[in-house]
Structure 1
């Protein structure tokens, strides 16, 4: 495979994306970008209003150069789909006829399955203003429609291509919940580490007068254990928390932090007043 100017190596072409009489070069460029995001590169235009190539399309493609350079232009829709053996037509409104209607998830899986057996497939998208005509939809094998709000069902053409491109990519993953990268794999902390941390935490809180009144300490400790055991902390996270406690231990004040609590301060003030009165 050839690389584009950015050093990107295009993935397999996948289904052809066919735009019927697109009007704005900017929309064509955004379509190319959406395709490139999800591994598609076969873009076909049927009678683009402003001709081709189009500088505005190139500018908005955001370096999807391999898609732009390979774009094919046709005078008639029949010519654009002539080499395909299976075709979806996107539409947001009900159509007369007997064609099956699929959602985007089902369509993505269908397209992947047909690619595996060597079939050439395509997805047909209509004009920005009014989509596809009934005659154009009739050339497709199946209709695909999106689960949008019926009261506002019109999608920008690039948005529609993005949704279908996403479903195409997702259907090719080993698991549809996969992503290109994950967070670090972290082993859950052992009970030994957790218990050691809880002992450290208890000592630090004791030094600062946290457990008040003293008879509630067991219940308060139970609450803390619930907080720190429910999320299944990883060992690395426990080490971070231990570092926090160690810092508190190192800079611990001479007197328990609890000595400054309002009720203790009130007791100290009363004692001071009593001594003044005795004098």
Structure 2
């Protein structure tokens, strides 16, 4: 087992398609250590391979198969159990985010970390959860707390990779577009003022300064690209041209 990432352990998974979908979710976030505990339909499973689709097949190729949970977690130093149900077991409860933070800290110290995911219909049994050090619970709608297997894997995998990706919450690049400079936006504002002034928009004169201030403030809030600015200049020129006496 690799020490640089947690191992995801699917306990008694029922459908090959869900195992394949879980493999895809794992590889989306750079995880490729999967273990299977007593898969219902045996192993290997062609439906899992079909759902894994391409590169994620390597996750299935490396997956270990175990008869029971104790065997699957035997070399782990710390184990999380994912469950949405309340149980009469006293254990620390983590969100996926805090759990993966803790997993990173443990792995940084050389520990082996495992995460248990239960079967699709029933989730983990109390006997499974009792063998874990802590519980992961997703804060979902209490009236419908059920997540399917691949969703649970996806959420946990995302929280594992998220701090490492170090992406801004909002992409200021607007998908690679060339952003307009403040000078270009300022000149666009000048152009609008000129055209609006000529059209008699700033009336009465006493209110004109505040109206212009509000317009400048509006331009500053908008994330213009250079293409946006050029388009608006062209629109103003065309409108003026078509309305000349």
TM-score norm. by structure 2 comes to 0.83
Q: Which residue of 34, 43, 48 corresponds with 1:57?
A: 48
Q: Deviations over 1:236-278 (max 9, x none)?
A: 75455334434445x44431xxxxxxxxxxxxxxxxxxxxxxx
Aligned to 1:267: none
2:5 maps to 1:20: no
Q: Aligned Cα RMSD in Å?
A: 3.0
Distance 1:28 1:13, change over 3 A: farther
1:130, distance to aligned residue in structure 2 (A): 1.1
CA contact (8 A) 1:189 1:235 kept: no
Structure showing greater relative contact order (alpha-carbon pairs closer than 8 Å, 6 or more residues apart): 2
Distance 1:170 1:158, change over 3 A: same
Aligned to 1:274: none
Secondary structure, counterpart of 1:136 in structure 2: helix
Mapping of residues 130-279 of structure 1, within 5 Å: 130-174=122-166, 177=169, 183-184=175-176, 186=179, 188-190=181-183, 193-207=184-198, 209-211=199-201, 215=205, 218=208, 220-231=211-222, 238-248=229-239, 251-255=241-245
Aligned to 1:94: 86
Q: Separation in 2 of the partners of 1:53 and 1:178?
A: 42
1:35, distance to aligned residue in structure 2 (A): 0.4
1:222, distance to aligned residue in structure 2 (A): 4.1
Larger radius of gyration: 1
Distance 1:174 1:233, change over 3 A: closer
CA contact (8 A) 1:47 1:74 kept: yes
Pairs aligned (count):
240
Q: Which residue of 76, 96, 111 corresponds with 1:119?
A: 111
Q: Separation in 1 of the partners of 2:147 and 2:161?
A: 20
2:97 maps to 1:105: yes
Q: Which residue of 60, 69, 79 corresponds with 1:68?
A: 60
